[in-house]
Structure 1
């Protein structure tokens, strides 16, 4: 191993260290965790699993605690523009130095144990949060629950946002099987908040089996919400219940909860910008359930719409297209520079002759076409975190020079 001086050096090293990108299972990472934290972490933990809505729920919980005197940390993934986005303490991202220091510590403790990129990031989050003496950490589960590296940490409250079909190669192809994987984050005699309005039976069965204190979200949150979309009422209600479960240890009052939910912010969740007199909407909807929610939100306002779209090849792309095709007048398809990306020929074949599609050379080409085509008033950029990240790199200068938020 050569000298690793920068964050990029470390990330490149991690990407090539383990024989596969995703390797679910706690045996390897738990060994390293127990060496690093023989007594466990000193802060309280809320773990958040689910198919969609995890990022929003983490943002709401973090924002609520920020209204109090407690020091709150948030771990989430994937990042959009910068790796540091994964580690946030009281709204401030961890520095390159903090992250590199954590990586050095992991490297010195892991011995012969091989770790994935995500496992490195989970351990780094815990090291950073411990050094910063946070009161509580909100940890977003990466994939599934039971075998995800976040699950090596015993939580004080677990949250399951919802269950839908995604990552079938890893989690199973039914809601019952996927529900069981997500349920794996529950702990005995510990509260679990489930936001799914039609939960698979496997969640209640597992809770009963291990004696977890399972509670379902029965009422949507009805006051002011900082994030756009009707579905956020459910996420906000979930966050509020999760926080209330820790009220004896970390008390927050109703005023703080309301303010936290009202002022919560999260990039690329129906994020609206005005550029070139067009409404530009960025959304990381990357499975059929998320696209259905995006479609319902777009349908509230009828206007000619052009989409910039791409996806990863392990997604049910035809279902994603079907959920939103009534809203989209033209599709601009863009290649993604990641291993799991679908190639343009295969992506084009997911569309039928009724769809108006154009394959672009790259994101720059797609954005130029979308912003300069006068027949479309609205541009929707979605399909993957990678799509939104590629778009934001190009759009940020426009936003700075020509920005006007639509509220």
Structure 2
């Protein structure tokens, strides 16, 4: 098979959560372990940082990867899902894995597929691990898919685990309360290995403390150890051609010298990155204590160039400047709340929101958080899990969200642009899979 045929095989023949939902979710690690065994245990042959969380794990993963790259380490990065190219999931020093490797890997494991019957995600995890071994990475930053305890990535023994925000998402798999969800995320904590918690709630802190104590794992709560705040007024207007860097002042509440306590610029412009930054900085602090050489200038330059160094997209991305269009992959209650908080820092005349969701999310809870003053364009991504746009519109009306429904994102964008006036803002959010359609839609409309 060539590369296109190989990708078609992966997308069409294997159970895929993004397409099929719950039927593609495996409730144990047996398939991943079987695949890794067939590949001579690649998960044991590289060092890693393992990251879980409801929101913020993708941003944190990319920030850490950028810093380690600038520190001179050959750095692997595994994230999911991808937006435009399957190979976005697997990078080394920001470069996509090669098409040739994808083809070669799938041919190598084909004899195992009938017996193991892995999912799409299980295959991609094993592929990433094999690539990191082949590339001889110094360290790999590994983002979980969903959950933690039963996530396919949870076969690594990391140098350190990082857990970001805990919120309500994937409750059908992880539990209906925050302590239940936190318990699943805490499943990535390993015996005698440190864990950093970016942020916590009273009901989740005890879960992390108990898990860490049982495993004799040193635990560090970044929100108690760091004060991270903006060091200048952060208001964004439609007149700006580029979103400004997020300038922060970070101080660690500790004893003794600490050169990490200083000012930073982040090219990830979402205001919500402040909370992710505290977890990232504490992770760097603890990795230094473990013997990793991470100079201060590498931290500065890494955080300043995350997008350039790692190819990070989808988080408060400015898609166009005229019309002013921003996209964010926030897709659950906490993600939508972060978007709404970010909007409070934006100055615009009228707000146009293009949105769509998948059926297995708590859509009503997310709709409740969206601003009632916006003009809405309800649409759907071209996947079976997508919630029908007309049904979404009807649901939204009960929350006083007014707008029209559109069959696809191209039609929604076209309508939003037709209504746009100078000084307005168009925001696209609600589903990772909707944001993934933007590039194709703009090409179709001749706006790319």
For the criterion TM > 0.5, the same-fold answer is: yes
Cα pair distance change 1:16/1:316, threshold 3 Å = closer
- C-alpha separation between the residues in 2 aligned to 1:268 and 1:307? 16
Corresponding position of 2:411: 365
Which of the numbers 141, 145, 152 marks the counterpart of 1:142?
Answer: 145
Corresponding position of 2:220: 215
Which of the numbers 344, 356, 366 marks the counterpart of 1:299?
Answer: 344
1:337 and 2:337 correspond: no
Corresponding position of 2:273: 232
1:390 and 2:437 correspond: yes
Cα pair distance change 1:230/1:13, threshold 3 Å = closer
Corresponding position of 1:198: 201
**Residues 166, 200 of structure 2: 8 Å contact kept:** no
The count of corresponding residues between Structure 1 and Structure 2 is 398
Corresponding position of 2:34: 31
Range with bigger deviation, 312-321 or 52-61: 312-321
Which of the numbers 303, 307, 324 marks the counterpart of 1:261?
Answer: 303
**Residues 148, 184 of structure 2: 8 Å contact kept:** yes
Spell out, residue by residue over 1:73-115, the C-alpha distance to the aligned partner (whole angstroms, 9 max, x if none).
Answer: 1000000011110011111111221112222233345561110
- C-alpha separation between the residues in 2 aligned to 1:136 and 1:4? 27
5 Å-filtered alignment, 1:4-403, equals 6-15=5-14, 20-38=23-41, 40-109=43-112, 112-198=115-201, 200=204, 201-217=206-222, 218-219=225-226, 220=228, 222=249, 223-247=264-288, 248-265=290-307, 266-275=312-321, 277-303=322-348, 304-326=350-372, 328-352=373-397, 354-375=400-421, 377-395=424-442
- Secondary structure of 1:25 counterpart: coil
Spell out, residue by residue over 1:207-255, the C-alpha distance to the aligned partner (whole angstroms, 9 max, x if none).
Answer: 1112111111031262211201222122122122223333344311111
What value does the CA root-mean-square deviation take over the aligned residues? 2.3
- C-alpha separation between the residues in 2 aligned to 1:173 and 1:191? 27
Range with bigger deviation, 289-298 or 311-320: 311-320
**Residues 17, 115 of structure 1: 8 Å contact kept:** no
Cα pair distance change 1:393/1:126, threshold 3 Å = same
- C-alpha separation between the residues in 1 aligned to 2:194 and 2:446? 42
- Secondary structure of 1:341 counterpart: coil
**Residues 14, 116 of structure 1: 8 Å contact kept:** no
Range with bigger deviation, 331-340 or 121-130: 331-340
- Secondary structure of 1:107 counterpart: helix
Range with bigger deviation, 328-337 or 68-77: 328-337
- Secondary structure of 2:128 counterpart: helix
Deviation at 1:145, TM superposition (A): 0.1
**Residues 61, 143 of structure 2: 8 Å contact kept:** yes
- C-alpha separation between the residues in 2 aligned to 1:33 and 1:165? 31
**Residues 410, 442 of structure 2: 8 Å contact kept:** no
- Secondary structure of 1:176 counterpart: helix
Deviation at 1:364, TM superposition (A): 1.3
